[in-house]
Amino acid sequence: MLLTCLMGLDTKACDCTGKKTVDESVKYSDVIVSGTILQKRLVKTLGGPYKNLILNPDSVAFAQSHIKGSLYAYTIVSDKVYKGNNIQDTFIVYSATSAAGCGYEFEKSKQYIIYARNLEVEDNGKKNIFLTTYCTRTNVYNDAEAKMLDKLFGK
């Protein structure tokens, strides 16, 4: 259901019970970073038995699929990694393309604190696919949150 919702295939509206606390978010997230958005691009996904693939929209497999969705792929330059292993200086975080799909819409050149999950999906053979939603604590960078994270992680 989560991946279906994020791919924009679910017709229900996003239903968050409110932002999680920092402690809840740390427990739930596989990756927590502060970083700046470099680029936003639309990527296509397949539904059905291939729902875990993110494809080039010009590919034959995508053209032949009956169930299609999309995500935004945000390229991020990380300033600081609070939580997560093997996070590159530049990496990609995905989010749904609409608020109805719980998508978080980042603005280019702005700095954020990003809470994300590592999903079991592929993007052109890459396995570390990070996803964030409106329901996480992901938000524009602020010093108070950064200080809380520094304290929690001893940074």
Q: Is the pTM of this model over 0.75?
A: yes
CATH topology of domain 2-153: OB fold (Dihydrolipoamide Acetyltransferase, E2P) (2.40.50)
The answer to whether 69 and 94 have CB atoms below 8 angstroms apart is: no
Q: Which residue spans within the chain are E strands per DSSP?
A: 31-46, 53-55, 68-83, 90-96, 111-119, 122-123, 129-131, 139-140
CA nearest neighbour of 155 among 37, 35, 33, 36: 33
- Per residue in 54-77, pLDDT (tens digit) is 555 555 555 555 555 678 889 999
Domain ranges of the chain: 2-153
The residues with which 89 forms a beta bridge, in sequence order, are none
- Per residue in 20-56, pLDDT (tens digit) is 888 899 999 999 999 999 999 888 775 544 455 555 5
DSSP state of 126: B
